[in-house]
Amino acid sequence: MSPLPSGESSVEVVVTPDPEGLAEAAAERFSKAAEKALAGSGRFTVALAGGSTPKGLYALLASEPYRSRVPWPRARVFWGDERCVPPTHGDSNYRMAEETLLRRLPIPREQIYRIRGEDPDPDRAAAEYEQVLKTVFGLRPAALPRFDLILLGMGADGHTASLFPRSPALREVSRLAVAPYVEQVGGYRITLTLPVLNHAACVMFLVSGQEKAATLRSVLAPGAGHDRPPAGLVAPQGGVVVWLADRAAARLLQDPVRGKAQS
């Protein structure tokens, strides 16, 4: 059984008319999260999502006004997960973000922390990524990194990052990053774990398309408990989870949930 996060998290669901509106709403919240982080710690730590949905957001962030509004030189950029491919591969989440966003921004390259998907030993790559997290966040042993913002997508099966239904990775309670074999894709992935996702100040899901509507309804159903799909297990303790969905993905929701969700 997957551990539900303890504690309280705020849930907000925002429905936009279309994917363009989704990207705009996400860019606005991304920018606000960055400004809030800068005012607090003086830097902005963010984990990017892979897949295709975030591309519209990344294109907006790479252009004005967001290119100027976000304090990119103070950003530390990570990924929520990575496929086990080289960074030049068409499936690489790094490559997608590099091409749509990062290469167009004034971020010092040493502040971009790529997951080494090309490593023939995925466990070693996950352990290396975990060490980078511990170093950059200055973590004491057994401490968790608190990202200012984690971007996530959701598959039609309810997976998020590379945490898939029935995956043993869902039961990880201490590692920051793991490299599970994913039956659903027939290969290994490297992913942040639920403890890290549930320690973020803000998690923002971007969900688009009618094929995700049934899953989104089950993820947001009150009281679904342990039976929720992996995306439904993300509820950062003392943090905020914002679900941004376009109308197609939200078409089966009774009414958007707002306010605090007790878990």
Nearest residue (CB) to ligand 6PG, 51 versus 87: 51
Nearest residue (CB) to ligand 6PG, 41 versus 52: 52
With b meaning 16 or more CB within 10 Å and e meaning fewer, what string describes 191-207?
Answer: bbbbbbbbbbbbbbbbb
Give the SS3 label for residue 99. Answer: helix
| Distance in Å, CB of 153 to ligand 6PG, minimum | 2
| Distance in Å, CB of 208 to ligand 6PG, minimum | 7
Q: How many helices (H) and strands (E) does the chain have?
A: 7, 11
| Distance in Å, CB of 14 to ligand 6PG, minimum | 17
Nearest residue (CB) to ligand 6PG, 71 versus 179: 179
Cα distance between residue 163 and residue 138, in whole Å: 25
Nearest residue (CB) to ligand 6PG, 6 versus 52: 52
Would you report the helix, strand and coil content of the chain in percent, each value rounded to 5?
Answer: 35, 20, 45
| Distance in Å, CB of 184 to ligand 6PG, minimum | 10
φ and ψ of 261, to 5 deg: -115, 120
Give the SS3 label for residue 65. Answer: coil
Closest residue to ligand 6PG, based on beta-carbon distance: 153
Q: CB neighbours (10 Å) of residue 112?
A: 18
Q: Which residues contact ligand 6PG by CB under 6 A?
A: 49-53, 80-81, 93, 153-155, 159-162
Nearest residue (CB) to ligand 6PG, 82 versus 148: 82
| Distance in Å, CB of 16 to ligand 6PG, minimum | 15
